Amino acid sequence: MNDMRELLDETVERAARFLDSLPERRVAAARTAQELVPALGGELPRKGLPAADILARLDEIGVQGVVASAGPRYFGFVTGGALPASLVASWLAAAWDQNAFSEVSSPVGAAVEQVAMRWVLEALDLPADAGAAFVTGATMANFTALAAARRAVLLAHGHDVDRQGLQGAPEIMVVVGEHAHATLFKALGMLGLGRDRVSRVPVDGQGRMRADALPDLEGPAIVCTQAGNVNSGALDPVGAVCDAVRSDDVWVHVDGAFGLWARASSRFGDLAAGVERADSWATDAHKWLNVPYDSGLAMVRDADALRGAMSVHADYLPDRIHRDPYEFTPETSRRMRGVEIWAAIASLGRDGIEELVEHNCLQARRFAAGLRDAGWEILADVVLNQVLVAFGDDRATADVIEGVQRDGTCWCGGTSWHGRTAMRISVSSWATTGNDVERSLAAILRVAEDVRARAGAQG
């Protein structure tokens, strides 16, 4: 046990050193994956190494490939840091090593999920009796919720898809917005609904599904809306989509990977008005709730539709006492995934979630104002925490993105917006201060000026 304690102390020491470095650390990784492979790999060892040596190797070699995305100036993809309470809860739960699939195998696992589920539904103002599954992220949350949708709309036509499969089932009309996230199509593909066999609804200039352009919704049908366009942050008019639904064999789903959290804010919540009328919702916790990877939630108004799609029976499995997590998730054996969500919400409270969301939204506005004042073009309205900016033509914008990543003060990625190359700034971390925004803005402007000067010198 002494060895174990020493190992844990050493881990704390190394982790603390890393966390201490975050505020000033260069954001991009120092080494590429391919550079790290030889140092971490080589031949399959015949004999194992002591755990302390493995820890040292991971820290000393592996850390060179760490992106400081847990730090305050990472604005890539949509990435939250890990709130202190959620990080330490995750560590303790790892030590407990619970198989949190059932109440019998882990009372604490089942309990934290019940509490976390209630808190999330309340914070997002969604129906308190909805069913929920704690999954790995929004991709699996979409998959899980859409499995419930597929079951329900086909059951309304007398077909039990979970027993009979899709063979012989009535065809399901699947409707998506033109700007639906790429992973939603993957979820549809995994469900046998097809990535391409969808009816695409045109979007407006901000990437919002146009409710006036919806096709006639003939059941069985599933309409996949989005709260939070990954580029612009725009939210589909979910309430208006729900208005177009006239029968109960049409299901409305919301992919709210990050935008659903707007509902926790009194200032920005109106953007997501009507979302509560949908049948199911997918969201991430590792994005705006700032819990460690990987963590997402599928929520379904009719808990039985979710349970029906996901539950399983085997003679050795325990009879349900109250709520067994495995009845709601694609996985059976699994870690105690709800614990970080429980800890994050316990540490933030309702006010803290609201503050986090509002801070990041205001920080995004500050980025946009600073860039616009310097003469650069903001390509979409800044409604939430996303900013899209162009620095002249596509070539110049790509050069700025590359230059910002190399500079290392902050990290922003690229995308394409209505056919133009854009830099994406996603402000999603609890750790980002006003000073981090100013430092990052100054670095971006410096790189952009360099790119402009070099182009001028060449041209």
Ligand X SMILES: Cc1ncc(COP(=O)(O)O)c(C=O)c1O
Which residues contact ligand X (rule: CB under 6 A)? Answer: 77-78, 137-139, 181, 183, 226, 228, 230, 255, 257-258, 284, 296
- Residue with smaller CB distance to ligand X, 78 or 336: 78
Smallest gap from Cβ 226 to ligand X, in A, equals 6
CA gap 76, 432 in Å, rounded? 13
- Residue with smaller CB distance to ligand X, 352 or 413: 413
Token reading at 170: 């009535």
DSSP letter assigned to residue 198 = S
- Residue with smaller CB distance to ligand X, 220 or 296: 296
- Residue with smaller CB distance to ligand X, 25 or 287: 287
C-alpha separations of 423 from 75, 227, 401 in Å: 10, 21, 6
- Residue with smaller CB distance to ligand X, 106 or 429: 429
Token reading at 90: 């995750």
- Residue with smaller CB distance to ligand X, 102 or 295: 295
Token reading at 353: 């979630």
- Residue with smaller CB distance to ligand X, 298 or 379: 298
CA gap 450, 310 in Å, rounded? 55
Smallest gap from Cβ 116 to ligand X, in A, equals 17
CA gap 285, 295 in Å, rounded? 5
Instruction: Please say whether the beta carbons of 225 and 178 come within 8 A.
Output: no
Around Cβ 247, how many Cβ atoms within 10 Å? 12
Which residue is at the shortest CB distance from ligand X?
137
DSSP letter assigned to residue 419 = T
Smallest gap from Cβ 292 to ligand X, in A, equals 13
Smallest gap from Cβ 441 to ligand X, in A, equals 23
- Residue with smaller CB distance to ligand X, 113 or 236: 236
Around Cβ 45, how many Cβ atoms within 10 Å? 8
Smallest gap from Cβ 259 to ligand X, in A, equals 7
Smallest gap from Cβ 367 to ligand X, in A, equals 19
Token reading at 231: 């580029």
Could you tell me which of 215, 223, 277 has the C-alpha nearest to residue 249? 223
Beta bridge partners of 378: 389
Smallest gap from Cβ 332 to ligand X, in A, equals 20
- Residue with smaller CB distance to ligand X, 187 or 447: 187
Question: Rounded to an integer, what is the distance from CA 297 to the centroid of its chain?
Answer: 9
Could you tell me which of 132, 113, 133 has the C-alpha nearest to residue 339? 113
CA gap 229, 258 in Å, rounded? 9
Smallest gap from Cβ 209 to ligand X, in A, equals 12
Q: Is 297 helix (H, G, I), strand (E, B) or coil?
A: strand
- Residue with smaller CB distance to ligand X, 179 or 323: 179
Strand intervals (E) in 360-448: 377-378, 386-390, 413-417, 420-426
Instruction: Please say whether the beta carbons of 36 and 65 come within 8 A.
Output: yes
Token reading at 398: 């790509």
Instruction: Please say whether the beta carbons of 199 and 173 come within 8 A.
Output: yes
Smallest gap from Cβ 180 to ligand X, in A, equals 8
Smallest gap from Cβ 426 to ligand X, in A, equals 9
Q: Is 413 helix (H, G, I), strand (E, B) or coil?
A: strand
